[in-house]
Structure 1
Amino acid sequence: MISSARRSNYRVTLAVLSVGVASFALVQSLTIPVLPRIQDELGTDPTTVTWVVTAYLVSASIFTPVAGRLGDAIGKERVLVAALAALSVGCVVAALAPNIGVMIAARVVQGVGGGVIPLSFGIIRDEFPEPKIAGAISFTSALLGAGGGLGTVVAGPLVNTFGYAWLFWLPAIVTGVAAVAAWLLVPESPVRTPGRIPLLPTLLFAGWLTALLIGISEGSREGWGSALVVGLVVAAVVVFAGWVVVEQRATVPFIDLRMMRLPAVWTANLVAFLVGVGMYASFAFTPRLLQTDVDVAGYGFGATVTEAGLLMLPASAGTFVMGLVSAQLARIRGAKPVVVIGCVVAAVGLAAIGLVHEQPWQTAVASGLFGLGLGAVFASLASLVVAAVPPEQTGVASGMNANIRTIGGAVGSAVMATIVTGHLGRGGEPHESAYTAGFLFLGAALLVAALVALAIPSMSSRELEDALEAEPEPEHVLAD
């Protein structure tokens, strides 16, 4: 049992966790609008510079559940400090990078910071008073969603005023301070999963995930039928199958697949995947739509990076505001209805961006609508996942949920790129109808997420824990 004295510091703990989560979310999206500037500064080509995003995506996808699993096993506070320190060091290296190779390596190190997401949720569940858990998770989730959108807003002014290196100096300073604060102020959580981290299941997990994400990322550039893409996807499928077999037989699994089969867990993960499809692609392609020169393509506003960011500011504001009130809404109506309604509202916002963009204010309103829906989903979905598993599996479960959302983002961005770049018109710009079709696709993904959310069972955490314990034990014939 955690003493009341330790729990009395939960507000300080929340402040530290909030800084870490917000910093990671900013680093995740800051580089996307200014890739051409990074390309020019480092003297590389358009294909190579995209690895600034791909390397980070792959690294974060791997280390998010790995850090969650490590935190569950050896202590969440110490792994949180390590994740924040890695994010800070990676940002320093990126700010000083003399060439694209060093920049890509730095982005891989930054991806380790993805562990702050599951570790923060786990610490909140372990350390906070019971009545404060849902609100704290909602607030942290709101920061995660709002920070991702805010990165596209501040990137332009930051680069224009201080230079592109400050895309990394600023989060390096903030996360460095957060790492020290976490070390000094965040108490070590007593909830642990006994046993060591299994090497073989972890390596197989990293293998299939890396092959899948690189294959998806390269699909829109190399062609979906290219030997490289097909080979990577086939390799991902084969390694994934091997990983499932090993996990089921391992004495100490990396991911408890019995837990992943629980109705409350797999439905929440599928919702997260579909939300990722819409969210990440919209962050990447809305600025492109806004920056299109109307004199060349016949649509768009010819906005600068800064102007496009300002038009997307309502999305970040809506995400944050709705995240703050979602806990109260969930307390009144239940978390599941909030997720369902949030998905529908976000879908309407995405469809509106694609269908109605003759005036800047129309895009701003649609963006705000999307943000409101996204904030409701982010805040309430995280609470559902945390409540669905035993305390000692909070880290790995929430890590996998965030990871699956990232995979959805990779899929959505690749499909969106294929739709948009497959229909080029005047001046080499995509046809306006291509953007319309793309955003309608993203909206449809959110509508499907709403339908899936209806299937999330309304069960208490005790009922879900009993369901996990009732699952048959796997054959313990393969020790790592």
Structure 2
Amino acid sequence: MTETIEAPGSRPKGGGMLVLYLALGGLAFAVLQSLVSPALSTIGRELNVSTSDVSWVVTAYLLSASVLTPILGRLGDMAGKRKVLIGVLAILAVGTIVSALAPNLTVLIVGRVLQGAAGAILPLSIGMVRDELPRERVATTVGLISAIFGVGAGIGIVAAGPIVEHLSWHWLFWLPLVLVVIALIGAVFGMKESPVRTPGKLDVLGATILSVSLVALLLAISKGQSWGWGEFNTIGLLAVGVVGLVAFVLVELRVKEPLIDMKLMRIRGVWATDLVALILGFAMFGTFLLVPTLLQLPEATGYGFGKSVSQAGLFLLPTVVMMVVFGPLAGILNRKFGPKLPMFLGAIFVVAAFTLPAVAHGQIWQVLASGILTGAGIGFAFAAMSNAIIEAVPAAQTGEATSVNTIARTIGSSIGTAVVAAVITSNTTPQGLPTDAAFTDGFWVCAAVAVLAVVAALALPRAHKRHEEAEATGVDDLPPEPDEIHLLHRSNA
């Protein structure tokens, strides 16, 4: 049995370098997630493999991140967030070097699996910020770090074209490695260990069941389009995934030290936030697929803009900039009004971002306006999601709760990529190019899905309802209001 008692004044007043190192690690992970996608055709051509085979470079990364994020997030809560973060960054560095030097597809996939371990950076980082920074800085800092993950994904899409055109696909890994190394050095020499722990042992059975179910689900979602949605492989994997998740919940309700405390999932502030994460993960990657494809189509089609890969990427820069601006702004709103308002506003912006081009996308300003609204909405909502989790769960369980939220984003991104790609390819010209109607349908699909995020955001409880809900669900140790004494007391009998 252990306990950590901490008064607000005992927290360090600095933390600027801590935030920098955490942000660099998160940026590297997010960039690596999206940087490879626009270059898949080039990688496949140089490695002499088919389009279907080279897609495993993305699939392996997503599978690894989804499986390892909750496990490493829980280990961080148990053994120390800094210690696990150092290990994660080291694995990310090794995986990035392996990928950069890969002579064939098999080695490249191994490197990507290693990189996927870095999915735990977000929950570990948010936990460290919550534990280490003065509480008046937590909301804004969490907003910034959360926005960095959206920013990194956008930068990856923007930078892929110029890197491949002027260097080679190997530099897709060498350049982010610089960020990883700086973050690793900072974690080793510039961070101290968090005092907040959840003693116990890892739930191996639960981790195994969750891993199998997530692999089955994401594999079916990622490969369903190429295999065929009605094929036995796809349906079978989806069934295994769903049954596995049900079994996981049943196991977690019965074990003494679960990988994920199911009591947390009953909290309205948690499940509503995870639902928003799933939906907006879908929408964000819908943008990253629809907009570059539309911009790169020949002008002769009457609706394409004839841009190169590099030029199309540059049109996503306003999206990235808005994420940077609105992430910290969401933190400021969170301090005054709680996370519900910025999450709701973010979802509204995303609905508007897709409704505009769904109605008309024949002018370049319409595409740019859509990108600006998307960046503002994702920046707002992603930052608010992390703060909503922090407000809803005990400090010692931040890692496992934010891990689930990260998984929800990953699954949403996978579903969004698969669904939007299916919409685009289902309506093509005799030359095999997507029709104008395909983009209209794609934008409407994303707009309709984003409406669900608005509904989910409205389901969030107001800030003053948090303690009532905690009592009702049996979860103690919720973060107090700003004028209360901060007392963390966590014990395991």
Query: SS in structure 2 opposite 1:164?
Result: coil
Please point out which of 114, 130, 134 is paired with 1:129. Answer: 134
- Mapped contact 1:88–1:171 kept (Cα < 8 A): no
Deviation at 1:331, TM superposition (A): 2.8
The reply to whether residue 331 of structure 1 matches residue 335 of structure 2 is: yes
**What residue in structure 2 maps to residue 183 of structure 1?**
188
**Which digits, 9 at most, give the CA deviation of each residue in 1:209-244, with x for residues without a partner?**
000000111111111100110111111122222212
- Mapped contact 2:210–2:245 kept (Cα < 8 A): yes
**Which digits, 9 at most, give the CA deviation of each residue in 1:16-52, with x for residues without a partner?**
1111111111111111111111111211111111111
**What residue in structure 2 maps to residue 196 of structure 1?**
201
The reply to whether residue 307 of structure 1 matches residue 323 of structure 2 is: no
**What residue in structure 1 maps to residue 445 of structure 2?**
441
Please point out which of 393, 397, 404 is paired with 2:397. Answer: 393
Rounded Cα–Cα distance in structure 2 between residues aligned with 1:15 and 1:302: 39
**Which digits, 9 at most, give the CA deviation of each residue in 1:287-327, with x for residues without a partner?**
112111232x4321121111011111111111111112122
TM-score (norm 1): 0.94
Opposite residue 242 of structure 2, the aligned amino acid is V
**What residue in structure 2 maps to residue 74 of structure 1?**
79
The reply to whether residue 92 of structure 1 matches residue 92 of structure 2 is: no
When structure 1 is superposed on structure 2, of 248-257 and 361-370 the one drifting more is 361-370
**What residue in structure 2 maps to residue 406 of structure 1?**
410
Deviation at 1:64, TM superposition (A): 1.6
Rounded Cα–Cα distance in structure 2 between residues aligned with 1:406 and 1:100: 23
**What residue in structure 2 maps to residue 255 of structure 1?**
260
Rounded Cα–Cα distance in structure 2 between residues aligned with 1:150 and 1:339: 23
**Which digits, 9 at most, give the CA deviation of each residue in 1:255-289, with x for residues without a partner?**
11111111111111111111111112221232112
Deviation at 1:467, TM superposition (A): 4.0
**What residue in structure 1 maps to residue 385 of structure 2?**
381
Rounded Cα–Cα distance in structure 2 between residues aligned with 1:149 and 1:239: 33
Rounded Cα–Cα distance in structure 2 between residues aligned with 1:198 and 1:104: 28
The reply to whether residue 430 of structure 1 matches residue 437 of structure 2 is: no
Deviation at 1:8, TM superposition (A): 3.4
Rounded Cα–Cα distance in structure 1 between residues aligned with 2:104 and 2:358: 37
Rounded Cα–Cα distance in structure 2 between residues aligned with 1:463 and 1:23: 39
Rounded Cα–Cα distance in structure 2 between residues aligned with 1:353 and 1:177: 40
Deviation at 1:123, TM superposition (A): 0.3
**What residue in structure 2 maps to residue 478 of structure 1?**
none
- Mapped contact 1:33–1:284 kept (Cα < 8 A): no
Opposite residue 80 of structure 1, the aligned amino acid is L
Query: SS in structure 2 opposite 1:7?
Result: coil
Please point out which of 269, 278, 302 is paired with 1:273. Answer: 278
- Mapped contact 1:269–1:401 kept (Cα < 8 A): yes
Query: SS in structure 2 opposite 1:195?
Result: coil
Rounded Cα–Cα distance in structure 2 between residues aligned with 1:81 and 1:2: 25
Question: Any unmatched runs of 5+ in structure 2?
Answer: 477-493
Rounded Cα–Cα distance in structure 2 between residues aligned with 1:340 and 1:61: 26
Deviation at 1:205, TM superposition (A): 0.4
- The number of residue pairs the alignment matches comes to 470
- Mapped contact 1:356–1:363 kept (Cα < 8 A): no
**What residue in structure 1 maps to residue 229 of structure 2?**
224
Deviation at 1:177, TM superposition (A): 2.1
Rounded Cα–Cα distance in structure 2 between residues aligned with 1:227 and 1:63: 27
Deviation at 1:132, TM superposition (A): 0.8
**What residue in structure 2 maps to residue 245 of structure 1?**
250
Question: Any unmatched runs of 5+ in structure 1?
Answer: 472-480
- Mapped contact 2:15–2:133 kept (Cα < 8 A): yes
**What residue in structure 1 maps to residue 484 of structure 2?**
none
**Which digits, 9 at most, give the CA deviation of each residue in 1:383-417, with x for residues without a partner?**
00111100010011011101111111111221112
**Which digits, 9 at most, give the CA deviation of each residue in 1:161-217, with x for residues without a partner?**
221111100111220221121011111011111111011100000000000000111
What's the % identity of the aligned pairs?
39
**What residue in structure 2 maps to residue 476 of structure 1?**
none
Deviation at 1:355, TM superposition (A): 3.5
Query: SS in structure 2 opposite 1:225?
Result: coil
Query: SS in structure 2 opposite 1:200?
Result: helix
Query: SS in structure 1 opposite 2:463?
Result: coil
Deviation at 1:2, TM superposition (A): 5.4
CA RMSD of aligned residues (A): 1.6
Rounded Cα–Cα distance in structure 2 between residues aligned with 1:378 and 1:11: 21
- Mapped contact 2:346–2:377 kept (Cα < 8 A): yes
**What residue in structure 2 maps to residue 36 of structure 1?**
41
Query: SS in structure 2 opposite 1:427?
Result: coil
**What residue in structure 1 maps to residue 287 of structure 2?**
282
- Mapped contact 1:342–1:373 kept (Cα < 8 A): yes
TM-score (norm 2): 0.92
**What residue in structure 1 maps to residue 25 of structure 2?**
20
Quick check: which one's helix share is greater?
1
**What residue in structure 1 maps to residue 374 of structure 2?**
370
The 3 A distance-change label for structure 1 pair 53 and 81 is same
**What residue in structure 1 maps to residue 299 of structure 2?**
294
Deviation at 1:86, TM superposition (A): 1.2
Rounded Cα–Cα distance in structure 1 between residues aligned with 2:106 and 2:418: 23
